[in-house]
Amino acid sequence: MSDSPSLLTASRRFPPSRAFVESASINATRLAEMRVAADDDYVGFWAKLAREQLAWKTEFITALDDSNAPNFRWFADGTLNASFNCLDLHLATRGDKLAIVFESEPGARRTYTYRQLHREVCKLANAIKSLGVGCGDRVVIYLPHTPEAIIAMQACARIGAIHSVVFAGFSATSLKDRIEDAGATLLITADGSVRNGSSIELKRAADDALQAGSGSIKNVIVLRNTERPVDMKAGRDLWWHELLEGQPEHCEPEWVSAEHPLFLLYTSGSTGKPKGIQHSTGGYLLNATVTCQWVFDLRDDDVFWCTADVGWITGHTYVCYGPLANGATVMIYEGAPMVPDAGRFWKICQDYGVTIFYTAPTAIRALMRAGDAFPKSYDLSKLRLLGSVGEPINPEAWMWYHEVIGKGRLPIVDTWWQTETGAIMMSPIPGAIDTKPGSCTHPLPGIFVEIVDEAGTPVTENSTGGYLVIRKPWPSMARTIWGDNPRYIKTYWEQFGPDRYVVGDSVHRDEDGYYWILGRVDDVLNVSGHRLGTMEVESALGSHAAVAESAVVGRPHEIKGEAIVAFVVLRGDRPTGEQATALSKQLRDHVGMQIGAIAKPDEIRFTDSLPKTRSGKIMRRLLRSIAKGETVTQDVSTLENPNIVEQLAYPA
């Protein structure tokens, strides 16, 4: 590996190359002007962009309505359609340009021009309408990472239906919970998907989910993706290809208020129940659109590849909406990074001439570990910008990305944001900002952040860190939690007062004003860039008949970022030896069934009891250091049961 630890100091800076700066759409001067404009009048700054960057059916008059703060509304009296902005707008100028270039894991290839994509979206939109789905109805999309997932999202947007994409790695139970919470009437799924050489049976999971309830679903549209046999329920289930036959190729967009919900996306928080984060049409699309230009310097000749699955917010904003609103060519790969070997991503970059590559630190670390020979045997000369998202990137991985993939020449944008923020909030502007390995640098223009201490008092420059908050509303902010506005207000707007959005991350700002995200401060885990609640895993464990109680914590993991460790108290005696091994497997599988494979604990430790304070609170800090294998130095005298520490730390 090409990095040496001596280089990895936080003070090392990487200015963009002269060549990049010269062709970049935003240089340091331009960025300074943007900051002045945004600092001077942030509402006016966003309003001007909204007028320039989006196509409106009727122009808005009021940019920001804060009369119901913190339920802010942006551009609410304007009307538009997201799918019109992503597709129709480009037909005259880019109708024959490739919108989507697709490859599956077994190697099938497919492309869509903007005109073809528009046609497929219109046909599906008409088909969905013919099933009785209308504006404001919820459609759950449970599809693999394929062009059809984008088509389905865009078709919903076209008719004003609210989509809720459920990641194909989630289990039947998770799917059922999300369908029920959203009250969805239509489910769009596929026969299956091939990943790591084996087939994921999506339709089977969908059937299980519907069997167990979800009475609101009237129809299921099934995409033929793997040719695996599936059961089709007469009167309910319809094949995608049959349904689309003969559908008109035009579908008038539904012109909706900018505040009309574009989608829900369920994400984990600090309780067992995922939250349906609700995003708007106009504000969301605005930040999605402009961040592609600012952060990725997106141009007409780019081939943009964000490797995130469409089931996560990154896939929504940087596969579906942002790049298409900009008329870009989007790469989509349905498969695992290591198939057939660790060269797959680099081969795709070579074969399709990818120019912008955006992935997660967990993938970078895994690819780094596989060795330099893989990237070195492919032509990566078309790449001009690299990005990272999902968790803090460690300087070693950053340096490898920079040197081996970027040949020391490409800018790296480390982009910090969340499901709730809708789009990138902090990131280098690649032609304007020197980067530092591991820092997301600064907030984007129009985004105002602050670091506060426990009491909510702002901490000053050069601080040792604190809680990250966002001070002013921004267009793509989450509007509410579907069906639970009190929870929205409580989760995001109470801890530090009604004018500080609570991010849930801790952060440090260095002497140069660079921000370094340190990680979550709540009970949220980040496993391979996937967001999971400790309580969610605990409630899955708790639903197993043998489990009395459990506590789940994260432990640092070299590749995944965090690994899941579960401390479990059984209803019966504490198992040991083979019995413990067998039960561990059972519980891991059970969690896999309840949530999905990504949530399976890496380690399960059985114990007679959990370490609790006299007021009954589980001492998570203690469990975290035990899980790491640290010697316990914490004061355990406040524990109800101090003797348990020995058993937890040195399991039989």
Q: Which residues bind ligand 7RM (CB under 6 A)?
A: 267, 312-314, 389-392, 414-419, 440, 504-505, 517, 520, 526, 531
Output the six-digit token pair for 647: 């058993």
- In the three-class reduction of DSSP (H, G, I as helix; E, B as strand; rest coil), residue 403 is classed as helix
Nearer to ligand 7RM, 240 or 400 (CB): 400
DSSP string, 32-79: HHHHHHHHH-HHHHHHHHHHHHS--SB--S-SEE-TTTTS-EESTT-E
Output the six-digit token pair for 420: 């709730």
Minimum CB–partner distance for residue 393 and ligand 7RM (Å):
7
The per-residue b/e assignment along 478-505, b for 16 or more CB within 10 angstroms, e otherwise, is bbbbbeeeebbeebbbebbeeebbbbbb
Nearer to ligand 7RM, 505 or 523 (CB): 505
Minimum CB–partner distance for residue 96 and ligand 7RM (Å):
33
Minimum CB–partner distance for residue 399 and ligand 7RM (Å):
16
Nearer to ligand 7RM, 62 or 506 (CB): 506
| β-strand pairing of 530-533 with 303-306 | unpaired
Minimum CB–partner distance for residue 265 and ligand 7RM (Å):
9
Nearer to ligand 7RM, 45 or 398 (CB): 398
Q: Determine the Cα–Cα distance for residues 274 and 170; give it in Å rounded to an integer.
A: 12
Output the six-digit token pair for 487: 């929870």
Q: Determine the Cα–Cα distance for residues 587 and 600; give it in Å rounded to an integer.
A: 8
Minimum CB–partner distance for residue 504 and ligand 7RM (Å):
6
- CA torsion sign for 366, 370, 372, 377 is negative
Nearer to ligand 7RM, 80 or 564 (CB): 564
Nearer to ligand 7RM, 312 or 352 (CB): 312
Nearer to ligand 7RM, 505 or 536 (CB): 505
Q: Determine the Cα–Cα distance for residues 603 and 420; give it in Å rounded to an integer.
A: 30
Minimum CB–partner distance for residue 418 and ligand 7RM (Å):
4
Q: Determine the Cα–Cα distance for residues 70 and 382; give it in Å rounded to an integer.
A: 44
* Residue 538 β-bridge partners: none
Minimum CB–partner distance for residue 415 and ligand 7RM (Å):
5
Minimum CB–partner distance for residue 188 and ligand 7RM (Å):
22
Nearer to ligand 7RM, 358 or 606 (CB): 358
Residue 198 makes CB contacts below 8 A (sequence gap 6+) with none
Output the six-digit token pair for 85: 């902005």
- In the three-class reduction of DSSP (H, G, I as helix; E, B as strand; rest coil), residue 577 is classed as helix
Q: Indicate the angle between helix axes 202-211 and 172-182, nearest 10 degrees.
A: 60
Nearer to ligand 7RM, 103 or 414 (CB): 414
Nearer to ligand 7RM, 291 or 584 (CB): 291
Angle, alpha carbons 119-122-126 (nearest 5°): 140
How many whole angstroms from its chain centre is CA 522? Answer: 18
- In the three-class reduction of DSSP (H, G, I as helix; E, B as strand; rest coil), residue 313 is classed as helix
Per DSSP, helices labelled H in 74-195 are: 82-83, 89-94, 114-130, 147-159, 172-182
Nearer to ligand 7RM, 143 or 313 (CB): 313
Q: Determine the Cα–Cα distance for residues 446 and 203; give it in Å rounded to an integer.
A: 43
Nearer to ligand 7RM, 73 or 520 (CB): 520
Angle, alpha carbons 280-286-291 (nearest 5°): 125
Minimum CB–partner distance for residue 454 and ligand 7RM (Å):
19
Minimum CB–partner distance for residue 516 and ligand 7RM (Å):
9
Of 347, 272, 289, the C-alpha closest to 524 is 272
Minimum CB–partner distance for residue 364 and ligand 7RM (Å):
12
Minimum CB–partner distance for residue 421 and ligand 7RM (Å):
8
Output the six-digit token pair for 428: 């280098």
Minimum CB–partner distance for residue 317 and ligand 7RM (Å):
8
Nearer to ligand 7RM, 186 or 288 (CB): 288
- Given a contact cutoff of 8 angstroms between Cβ atoms, the answer to whether 391 and 526 are in contact is yes
Helix (H) or strand (E) run with residue 375 in it: helix 373-376
Minimum CB–partner distance for residue 268 and ligand 7RM (Å):
8
- Given a contact cutoff of 8 angstroms between Cβ atoms, the answer to whether 534 and 610 are in contact is no
Q: Determine the Cα–Cα distance for residues 275 and 185; give it in Å rounded to an integer.
A: 19
Of 507, 332, 345, 483, the C-alpha closest to 418 is 507
Nearer to ligand 7RM, 125 or 393 (CB): 393
Q: What is the dihedral of CA 44, 50, 52, 55, to 10 degrees?
A: -150
